[in-house]
Structure 1
Amino acid sequence: MAISISLQGLGLIILAAVLLQTIAVAVSFMYFNKVLNTMQESFSRSSVSCLMNANMRFGYEDSAAEDKKSDPCWQVTQQLHYHIEKTMADRFQKEISTAMRNKLTGVPPILNPGVRGVPLPKVAAHVTGVVSSTDPPTAEGSRSSRGYLGERIRAWEGQRGLSFLENMELKGGELLVPRAGLYYIYAQTYFRLSSTGETEVEAKGEVGDPKEEEGAQLLQYIYKKMSSYTVPILLMKSSRSACWPRGQGPGLFSLHQAGTAFLQPADRLFITVSNASAMEMDGRASYFGAFLVG
């Protein structure tokens, strides 16, 4: 009987000790949690205060470097500056990488983002000359009834080599505009003038004629054709005076021009030159194109 009473007393003592320990742990947890919250609020207020008063506290030139490093406010601002610089550097690096990738793949840059948050669609084309060893460049002679000057070039390549079409069509040497907007338009034509021009003049007995001394006038035109207007509209022109080569080798000349124009859907762009038979239709020498910029 005495042994049973002693066991019950020991059990009560152990239970009381466990309860007291549990209560002590709970009180300690609540106390330290409250202290931690107080410290966090204090740190947040001090951090905001540091940011608001950073210029006032550290804007003096006579402040010692060691004093700054030991000040908690200086440490907070330095960490914030570090994270801001790292974030901006990562974003800048990503944008540069995207721009370089687009440049290498031939995708033209979007100069105007249009509506805020909505990028412009990719509308672009770059067509190149077609090299042929037997046939001259396909062209139409200049006719006053057609309303444009020069010979119209139709032999353009839009799918192979350096050329590409992005939401634009190439039909009969014309680029078809799919949507209204401001377009950047460019063209280059390359000419190879042989010395036969001078030889033909000499064969006719006209050596010394003023026309032979003047040489050749090279002209390049960029036209726009509208569905609502029958006569093509001249957008740009470029010219150059080239002397006939007097040696054995040919004379090489190029014309390049570029500019912007506002185009409507179904407008067509085409190129004419003064002498299509003298053109060098290498894709790296003769080309034209356009892309949407706004």
Structure 2
Amino acid sequence: MAISISLQCLGLVILAAILLQTITVAISFIYFNKVLNTMKESFSRSSVSCLINANLHSGLEESTAEDRKRSPCSQVTQQLHYHIEKTMAGRFQKEISSAMRNKLTGVRPALSPGVPLPKVAAHVTGVVSPTDSPVEEGSRSSRGYLGQRIRAWEGQRGLSFLQNMELRGGELLVPTAGLYYIYAQTYFRLPSTEESEGEAKEETGLTREEEGAELVQYIYRKMSSYTGPILLMKSFRSACWPRGQEPGLFSLHQAGTAYLQPADRLFITVSNASAMEMDGRASYFGAFLVG
């Protein structure tokens, strides 16, 4: 009987010890979890304070400048400020360099992604007018340009077209400022020596073979703010008058880019305009906006 009571007492003691240990572990877990949360909040506030250069404790206000310089918070803040300043300075320098380069070269800034360029283009072809001469005569001093200006261009029919550009008196009118690609081709048919021998000798005293032919093509730009036309491009070749009965066929082609302003005009002049063939597939010029 005494042994049974002793076993019961021992069991109660063991059960009480286990219960006490469980309660102790639970209390410890709750306590340490609370401590960790408190430390986490304190660290978060400290990080924010480092960024805004604020002191969490009043004792820091009395610390010396040297102590603040050596503090981890101050070092982190200085490193962060250094990286921010370096990044902003690099970006600012890049934007300034790009802006100055565009200003000096006259390059039009690129449009934002998704914004299409204006559709500005023209291709005009040669056409023989039954009433008017295809070229404009006059002295160089009164015209201000070399060669003879071609007036007979077709802008509506056949292979020609005008898209947001106008054709006035043989000139293409530029509607929008920007970088344009400009091109031109002129086609010449030189008569054979037998056909023109007498005419050439009567005019110059030389035969066609001795005289030769200089074929030149010019592309001019006319600005509203400038009195005379500006030569943009020229192309030339020396051609010999063909022998025999067959005529000589020659063509001049040139192309390039130029930054144009609204109301600028483009026109073509040539030498030996009387020998020019105004075939729309061989003589043409045009321009289109590229940037």
TM-score bin (small chain): 0.5 to 0.7
Alignment partner of 1:163 is 2:160: yes
Which residue in 2 is equivalent to 1:69?
Answer: none
* 2:135 is the counterpart of 1:138: yes
Identify the residue that residue 50 of structure 1 maps to in structure 2: none
| 2:116 is aligned with 1:119 | yes
Structure 1 residues 206, 147: closer, same or farther in 2, change over 3 A? closer
Q: 2-side partners of 1:141 and 1:197: how far apart?
A: 24
| Residue of structure 2 in register with 1:227 after alignment | 224
* Deviation (angstroms), 1:177: 0.1
Q: Distance in 1 between matches of 2:111 and 2:255?
A: 22
For residues 44-99 of structure 1, give each alpha carbon's deviation from its aligned partner in whole angstroms, at most 9, with x where no partner exists. xxxxxxxxxxxxxxxxxxxxxxxxxxxxxxxxxxxxxxxxxxxxxxxxxxxxxxxx
Contact 2:217 2:269 in 1 (8 A): yes
Alpha-carbon contact 2:212-2:240 (below 8 Å) kept: yes
Q: Compute the TM-score of the two structures, normalised by the length of structure 2.
A: 0.58
Q: Post-superposition shift, 1:133?
A: 6.7
Aligned to 2:261: 264
CA separation of 1:166 and 1:216: change in aligned 2, threshold 3 A: same
Q: Is the CA contact (8 Å cut-off) linking 1:201 and 1:212 kept in structure 2? A: no
Identity rate, percent: 82
Contact 2:135 2:148 in 1 (8 A): no
Q: Secondary structure at the match of 1:284?
A: coil
In structure 2, C-alpha distance between the alignment counterparts of 1:271 and 1:204, rounded to whole Å: 27
Q: Give the corresponding residue for 1:129.
A: 126
- Name the CA distance, whole Å, in 1 between partners of 2:161 and 2:212: 36
The match for 2:200 is 201
Residue 215 of structure 1 contacts residue 243 of structure 1 at CA under 8 Å; is this kept in 2?
A: yes
CA contact (8 A) 1:140 1:153 kept: no
Say which of 245, 250, 254 aligns to 1:248. 245
Q: Deviations over 1:115-172 (max 9, x none)?
A: 3110101100000000357865232334223210000111000000000000000000
| Aligned-partner SS, 1:201 | helix
Q: Greater CA deviation, 113-122 or 196-205? A: 196-205
Q: Which amino acid aligns with 1:162?
A: L
Query: Structure 1 residues 135, 226: closer, same or farther in 2, change over 3 A?
Result: closer
Q: What is aligned with 1:42?
A: none
Residue 66 of structure 2 is matched in structure 1 by none
Give me the whole-angstrom Cα distance separating, in 1, the residues matched to 2:242 and 2:275: 13
In structure 2, the partner of 1:26 is none
Equivalent position of 1:46 in the other structure: none
Residues in 2 aligned to 1:285 and 1:178: alpha-carbon distance in whole angstroms: 27
**2: CA distance between counterparts of 1:205 and 1:263?**
42
Q: CA RMSD in A?
A: 2.2
The amino acid of 2:267's aligned partner reads F
Structure 1 pair 204–267 and aligned structure 2 pair: CA distance change class (3 A)? closer
Q: How many Å apart are 1:232 and its aligned residue?
A: 0.3
Q: Which runs of 5+ in 2 are unaligned?
A: 1-108
Q: 1:135 to 1:168 in 2, by over 3 A?
A: closer
The yes-or-no answer on 1:192 pairing with 2:171 is no
Aligned counterpart, 1:173 = 170
Q: TM-score normalized by structure 1? A: 0.57
Structure 1 residues 184, 204: closer, same or farther in 2, change over 3 A? closer
CA distance, structure 2, for counterparts of residue 193 and residue 140 of structure 1 = 20
Q: Deviations over 1:184-210 (max 9, x none)?
A: 000000001102333323567945x6x
The residue that corresponds to 1:32 in the other structure is none
Quick one: which amino acid aligns to residue 279 of structure 2?
Answer: D
